């Protein structure tokens, strides 16, 4: 399965217990709960929650619809702003987005409206006879989208809605991007990601060609020639490396790679179990990794970060999830050396303690060792340069390693747009990728129709 | 502790909280439980001639607030469905066992003197403290020429009241229907007939909702429905106004009033008393919560009275009547302006959009650098209507501040802008 972890044992728990461990982190609201919760919304004007939602969902309106038992109407409101509203409802860090802005957080009330949960309620319970959006008359324009992640899917849906035909080129077997391969299993359970993709494709006019990779069997040059516009939603396909010796030793792995296997596994009992493990990093990926290993049955999970709690990328809510899963959060320590046993496999790691000197992170000189059967790296995702390898692609202006775009999501090359994690705009979040895709589609549409009118 | 005892139209009770004539006072079992719980009195469920009334199923429906709290209740029940004999026997026993509590018997018989002449001595023989004439039931009984069919015609009210005063020595309380245009006409008629007191309100004609699948209003009986009588918190404002109208009417001034309609807390009761009531009656709140609510009502009322220095109910009964007047006597120079407590404001924008769309464009929405909005009252535009204060979800966040504009009292009667002004 995962070669570098093949030597490890399997989970002790049986399939049923494991399935239970990976069930919904936040179970759905029932009718009564939804009605009560929706009644708490004050129907704010210029609502702060909408302001804080990267995809600009009209939150007071959909909540009012829920309260008036118009679930379909609520769902349509959500989907018209965010076609992946179902996964966003489950994976958004609402504690730093809409729910953080909710006026009911104010000290007089101290509990925000559970916007994410209500959004999920609406989408879970809306029963559409047919796809709720109808395509505009065909424009005859064709747009290529590379990457079937949240950004690409959102862009494709909005383009199809406007009457354009879309071909998505996707490297992987399944569509969905990190929704399918990356999000913690207990946030997006069962085959939700695929069901959501199926729903989205119902609009028609979107063809997905799997197994096609930009930079391998596809060039930007040819796409730009064959299509009226191109959208790049490539995500961050590479994982950052530590840059130290023995990084590829058995027992060392990128967290995203493990999560990918976990999400795809039909039988969780067959996964490798690292009873003692170390997770390096401090973002949500690190937390996801640590918690999922703990849920598989690992008894000694250490998340090690070189700075303090307050610097962690993971939200407090995420950190609480980790603590509840008995994950130990160790701060102010950085990897110094991978420790191997005589067969060359990971047996632990030596760390050196860190502190700030005049605002700069320095080693104190003090070291300590942690025993571990595996070490998972979650120190960030990186843009995979190999995708942009043809003459036109190499021309693309970059923003750091990522693709540079303007406010309209257009790259430095006319007719080529990009969005989601592969750009530096906004946060690396599902909801942000959806918004980018949507805005890029609108920009592409405006551009294509402008050309039509001019012609 | 303040003294809650009352003497209302000659009827004594340890406290002003009576249960209104309705299911809570249907039979000895309920009434004994109510007395055990501490209610000061009851008005027994309305008695009628035998054979007893027959009820349908179902009978109630409700109008709900956002959290499924009942705002108002609607019923299509008739008067007692038990025989006169059983009721009289139980009344006799209960009064004997609970001599200190007020026990008033509600009556409704056809609008002919014989009928009243026949039933009144039977009631008097029970030892009850008084009678209440049900001129208010707006459904079913009214189709048979009783209840609100009587209450809506002042001459009938006066006539029946007089028959009762003639054939019975007990205090007579006339219970009025709100399903009229001017409550004073009914109260005046009762007064002319010799009533010792009036009680109000009975229920208001209502349909609470419609089942849109079955296309029938609620409550459903088979495939049909009928209008019922509305009660509960939603009717309180209507009842309070009617009480005030009677209390300040020169023709009925001093006539004891038993306040009914949406009373569920000591504060509700105190408001009715401040507008001139000598006792209050409760039905819906007891039906929704049980008899135990009287505990908090008594405790709350006496503590509030202590805090105000009121020793007995008389000390504040009717105190708000003098301050209730006609529009034309209001001070046109009085001015308040909304003031937002920025510390308390949670930034929901409700005040702004309410004033902007539907009032006087007097609350500015100022976009801040962080994308949030600050809401500020434009004093010069504010007319002091209270709308923003009403729509604001935060308690005490918007205050209506009295302005010292240096102008003295001026009412419309004397305002030079009034073409019909009284020239001084
Ligand atoms: C472990 C992990 C957990 C996360 N958890 C959360 C969370 O809880 N909440 C949240 O909001 N966000 C979370 N994120 C971030 C979120 O998943 C991303 O921001 C989001 O998926 C970005 O969408 P995208 O479409 O830009 O990229 P992706 O989802 O990465 O999709 C890119 C797609 O492009 C395809 N592709 C890539 N290169 C090529 C190529 N050269 N040719 C063809 N196809 C290509 C990929 O196969 C993929 O399908 C998480 C990320 C990770 C890594
Ligand atoms: C189910 C029901 C039955 C009632 N029956 C009578 C009745 O028999 N006689 C009567 O005078 N009023 C009757 N009423 C009216 C109540 O006594 C009372 O006037 C009215 O409900 C308003 O008070 P509330 O808001 O406290 O309920 C009835 C009310 C209800 C809800
Ligand atoms: S801020 Fe909160 S209360 Fe206001 S509209 Fe949004 S969810 Fe509702
Ligand atoms: S009191 Fe009325 S006019 Fe004045 S700010 Fe409030 S809503 Fe506007
Ligand atoms: S309604 Fe109240 S809380 Fe809301 S913005 Fe206005 S003053 Fe602030």
Looking at residue B145, its pLDDT comes to 85
Residue nearest to atom 21 of ligand 2 (CA): B231
Whether residue A349 lies inside any domain: the answer is yes
Say whether both A387 and A376 belong to one domain. Answer: no
User: What Cα–Cα distance (Å) separates residue A91 from each residue in A24, A185, B95?
Assistant: 11, 10, 67
User: What Cα–Cα distance (Å) separates residue A195 from each residue in A161, A172, A191, A199, A318?
Assistant: 19, 17, 6, 6, 26
Whether residue A14 lies inside any domain: the answer is no
Please compute the mean of the pLDDT values over residues B389-410 and round it to a whole number: 96
Please compute the mean of the pLDDT values over residues A417-442 and round it to a whole number: 97
Say whether both A147 and A212 belong to one domain. Answer: yes
**By CB neighbour count within 10 A (0-12 exposed, 13-18 middle, 19+ buried), where does A426 fall?**
middle
Q: How far apart are CA B259 and CA B270, in angstroms?
A: 10
When CB atoms are compared, the residue of B344, B349, B371 closest to A45 is B349
pTM exceeds 0.90, yes or no: no
What average pLDDT does the structure give for chain A? Answer: 95
B259-282 per-position pLDDT tens digit: 999 999 999 999 999 999 999 999
Q: How far apart are CA A194 and CA A210, in angstroms?
A: 14
Assess whether pLDDT exceeds 90 at residue B369: yes
Residues of A whose CB is below 8 A from B350: 42-45
Assess whether pLDDT exceeds 80 at residue A108: no
Whether residue A188 lies inside any domain: the answer is yes
Q: How far apart are CA B344 and CA B277, in angstroms?
A: 38
Structure tokens at A294: 């703990």
Looking at residue A455, its pLDDT comes to 59
Closest atom of ligand 1 to CA, residue A436 = 26
CATH (domain of A317)? 3.50.50.60
Residues of B whose CB is below 8 A from A47: 348-349
Inter-chain touch A51–B393, beta carbons under 8 Å: no
Looking at residue B378, its pLDDT comes to 98
A330-348 per-position pLDDT tens digit: 999 999 999 999 999 999 9
Band (pLDDT 50/70/90 cuts) for residue B74 is very high
Crossing angle of helices B84-97/B28-37, nearest 10°? 20
* Cα B6 to averaged position of ligand 2 atoms, centre (Å): 23
Q: How far apart are CA B206 and CA B99, in angstroms?
A: 38
Say whether both A88 and A111 belong to one domain. Answer: yes
Residue that is last in its domain, among A356, A380, A404:
A380
Cα atoms found within 13 Å of the Cα of residue B278, Cβ hemisphere only = 18
Q: Which of B97, B81, B99, B189 is nearest to B135 (CA)?
A: B189
Per the rule left: phi > 0, alpha: psi between -120 and 50, beta: everything else, B317 is beta
Say whether both A229 and A248 belong to one domain. Answer: no
Q: How far apart are CA B286 and CA B292, in angstroms?
A: 8
Per the rule left: phi > 0, alpha: psi between -120 and 50, beta: everything else, A244 is beta
Longest dimension (CA), chain B: 82
Distance from CA of B345 to the nearest CA of A (A): 9
Say whether both A338 and A401 belong to one domain. Answer: no
Whether residue A9 lies inside any domain: the answer is no
* Cα A49 to averaged position of ligand 3 atoms, centre (Å): 6
Looking at residue B1, its pLDDT comes to 82
| A41, A78, A122: residue to mutate for ligand 3 pocket, most atoms within 8 A of CB | A41
Band (pLDDT 50/70/90 cuts) for residue B68 is confident
B interface residues, A as partner, C-beta within 8 Å: 66-68, 344, 346-350, 352-353, 365, 371-373, 393-395
**Residues lining ligand 1, judged by CB closer than 6 Å?**
A 91-92, 146-152, 169-172, 177-178, 182-183, 187, 213-215, 233-235, 237, 256, 259, 284-285, 288, 381, 387, 420-422, 428-431, 433
Say whether both A406 and A441 belong to one domain. Answer: yes
Count of structural domains, chain A: 3
Q: What are phi and psi of B34, to 5 degrees?
A: -65, -45
Say whether both A37 and A113 belong to one domain. Answer: yes
Which of helix, strand or coil describes residue A118?
helix
Segment (H or E) for A191: none
B176-218 per-position pLDDT tens digit: 999 999 999 999 999 999 999 999 999 999 999 999 999 999 9
Domains of chain B, with CATH numbers?
6-315 (3.20.20.70), 327-414 (3.30.70.20)
Residues of B whose CB is below 8 A from A44: 347-350
Whether residue A16 lies inside any domain: the answer is no
Closest atom of ligand 3 to CA, residue A63 = 8
Q: How far apart are CA B371 and CA A255, in angstroms?
A: 37
Whether residue A17 lies inside any domain: the answer is no
Tell me what percent of chain A is helix, strand and coil, each rounded to the nearest 5. Answer: 40, 20, 40
Looking at residue A1, its pLDDT comes to 64
Say whether both A356 and A260 belong to one domain. Answer: yes
What average pLDDT does the structure give for chain B? Answer: 96
Residue that is last in its domain, among A355, A380, A405:
A380
Residue nearest to atom 6 of ligand 2 (CA): B22
Neighbours of A7 (CB within 10 A): 14
CA angle B147-B150-B156, nearest 5°? Answer: 150
* Cα A246 to averaged position of ligand 1 atoms, centre (Å): 28
Please compute the mean of the pLDDT values over residues A106-131 and round it to a whole number: 93
Domain housing A111 = 31-125
Please compute the mean of the pLDDT values over residues B103-131 and round it to a whole number: 97
Band (pLDDT 50/70/90 cuts) for residue B424 is low
Looking at residue A420, its pLDDT comes to 98
> Any alpha helices (H) in B71-139, and if so which ranges?
84-97, 113-124
* Cα A37 to averaged position of ligand 5 atoms, centre (Å): 21
Say whether both A262 and A346 belong to one domain. Answer: yes
User: In terms of CA atoms, which chain A residue is nearest residue B345?
Assistant: A106
CA dihedral B115, B120, B125, B131 (to 10 degrees): 140
In the DSSP assignment, the letter for residue A423 is B
User: Percent of chain B at pLDDT above 70?
Assistant: 100
A266-321 per-position pLDDT tens digit: 999 999 999 999 999 999 999 999 999 999 999 999 999 999 999 999 999 999 99
B134-151 per-position pLDDT tens digit: 998 888 888 888 888 889
Q: Which of A37, A40, A44 to mutate to test the interface with B (most CBs of B within 10 A)?
A: A44
Say whether both A248 and A308 belong to one domain. Answer: yes
User: What Cα–Cα distance (Å) separates residue B407 from each residue in B279, B333, B403, B411?
Assistant: 41, 6, 10, 12
A137-185 per-position pLDDT tens digit: 999 999 999 999 999 999 999 999 999 999 999 999 999 999 999 999 9
Band (pLDDT 50/70/90 cuts) for residue B108 is very high
Say whether both A173 and A216 belong to one domain. Answer: yes
Say whether both A116 and A49 belong to one domain. Answer: yes
């Amino acid at each position: 399965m995962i070669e570098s972890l093949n030597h490890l044992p399997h989970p002790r728990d049986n399939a049923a217990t494991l399935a239970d461990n990976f069930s919904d982190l936040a179970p759905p609201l029932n009718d009564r709960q939804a009605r009560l919760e929706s009644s708490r919304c004050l129907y704010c004007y210029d609502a702060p929650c909408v302001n804080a939602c990267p995809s600009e969902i009209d939150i007071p309106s959909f909540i009012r619809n829920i309260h008036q038992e118009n679930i379909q109407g609520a769902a349509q409101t959500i989907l018209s702003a965010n076609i992946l509203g179902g996964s966003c409802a489950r994976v958004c860090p609402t504690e730093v987005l809409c729910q953080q802005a909710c006026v009911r957080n104010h000290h007089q009330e101290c509990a925000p409206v559970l916007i994410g949960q209500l959004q999920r309620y609406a989408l879970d319970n809306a029963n559409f006879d047919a796809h709720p959006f109808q395509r505009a008359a065909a424009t005859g324009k064709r747009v290529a989208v590379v990457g079937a992640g949240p950004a690409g899917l959102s862009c494709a849906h909005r383009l199809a809605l406007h009457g354009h035909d879309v071909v998505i080129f996707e490297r992987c077997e399944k569509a969905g991007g990190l929704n399918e391969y990356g999000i913690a299993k207990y946030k997006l359970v069962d085959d939700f990601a695929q069901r959501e993709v199926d729903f989205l494709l119902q609009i028609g006019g979107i063809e997905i060609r799997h197994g096609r990779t930009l930079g391998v069997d596809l060039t930007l040059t040819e796409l730009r020639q064959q299509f009226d516009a191109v959208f790049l939603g490539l995500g961050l396909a590479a994982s950052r490396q530590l840059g130290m010796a023995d990084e590829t030793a058995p027992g060392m792995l990128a967290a995203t790679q493990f999560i990918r296997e976990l999400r795809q596994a039909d039988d969780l009992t067959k996964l490798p179990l690292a009873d003692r493990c170390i997770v390096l990093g401090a973002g949500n990926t690190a937390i996801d990794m640590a918690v999922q290993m703990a849920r598989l049955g690992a008894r000694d999970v250490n998340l090690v970060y070189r700075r303090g709690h307050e610097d962690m990328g993971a939200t407090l809510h995420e950190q609480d999830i980790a603590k509840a899963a008995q994950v130990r959060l160790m701060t102010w320590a950085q990897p110094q050396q991978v420790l191997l046993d005589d067969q060359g496999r990971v047996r632990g790691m030596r760390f050196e303690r860190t502190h700030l000197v005049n605002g700069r992170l320095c080693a104190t000189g003090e070291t300590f060792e942690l025993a571990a059967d595996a070490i998972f790296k979650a120190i960030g995702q990186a843009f995979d340069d190999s995708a942009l390898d043809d003459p036109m692609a190499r021309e693309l202006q970059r923003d750091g390693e990522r693709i540079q775009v303007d406010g309209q999501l257009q790259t430095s090359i006319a007719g080529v747009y990009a969005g989601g994690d592969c750009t530096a705009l906004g946060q690396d979040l599902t909801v942000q990728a959806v918004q980018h895709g949507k805005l890029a589609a609108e920009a592409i549409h405006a551009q294509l129709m402008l050309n039509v009118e001019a012609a | 502790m303040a003294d809650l005892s009352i003497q209302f139209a000659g009827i004594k009770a340890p406290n002003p909280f009576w249960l209104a004539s309705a299911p809570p006072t249907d039979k000895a079992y309920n009434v004994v439980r109510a007395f055990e719980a501490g209610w000061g009195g009851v008005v027994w469920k309305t008695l009628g001639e035998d054979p007893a009334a027959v009820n349908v199923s179902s009978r109630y429906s409700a109008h709900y607030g956002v959290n499924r709290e009942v705002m108002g209740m609607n019923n299509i029940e008739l008067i007692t469905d038990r025989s006169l004999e059983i009721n009289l026997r139980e009344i006799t026993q209960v009064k004997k066992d609970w001599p200190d509590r007020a026990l008033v018997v509600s009556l409704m018989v056809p609008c002919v003197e014989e009928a009243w002449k026949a039933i009144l001595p039977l009631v008097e023989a029970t030892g009850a403290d008084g009678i209440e004439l049900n001129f208010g039931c707006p459904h079913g009984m009214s189709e048979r020429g009783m209840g609100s069919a009587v209450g809506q015609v002042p001459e009938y009210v006066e006539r029946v009241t007089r028959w009762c005063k003639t054939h019975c020595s007990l205090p007579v309380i006339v219970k009025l229907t709100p399903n009229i245009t001017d409550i004073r006409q009914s109260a005046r008629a009762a007064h002319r007939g010799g009533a010792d007191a009036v009680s109000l309100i009975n229920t208001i004609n209502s349909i609470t909702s419609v089942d849109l699948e079955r296309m029938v209003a609620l409550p459903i009986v088979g495939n049909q429905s009928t209008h019922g009588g509305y009660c509960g918190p939603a009717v309180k404002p209507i009842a309070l106004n009617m009480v005030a109208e009677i209390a300040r009417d020169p023709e009925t001034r001093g006539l004891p009033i038993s306040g009914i309609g949406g009373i569920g807390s000591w504060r509700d009761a105190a408001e009715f008393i401040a507008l001139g009531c000598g006792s209050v009656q409760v039905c819906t709140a007891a039906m929704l919560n049980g008899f135990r609510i009287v505990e908090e009502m008594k405790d709350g009322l006496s503590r509030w009275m202590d805090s105000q220095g009121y020793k007995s109910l008389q000390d504040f009964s009717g105190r708000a009547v003098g301050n209730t007047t006609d529009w034309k006597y209001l001070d046109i120079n009085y001015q308040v302006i909304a003031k937002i407590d920025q510390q308390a404001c949670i930034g929901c924008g409700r005040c702004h959009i309410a004033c902007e769309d539907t009032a006087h464009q007097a609350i500015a929405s100022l976009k801040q650098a962080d994308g949030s909005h600050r809401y500020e009252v434009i004093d010069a535009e504010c007319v002091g209507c209270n709308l923003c204060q009403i729509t604001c979800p935060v308690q005490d966040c918007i205050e209506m501040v009295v302005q010292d504009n240096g102008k003295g009292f001026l009412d419309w009667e004397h305002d030079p802008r009034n073409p019909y002004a009284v020239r001084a």
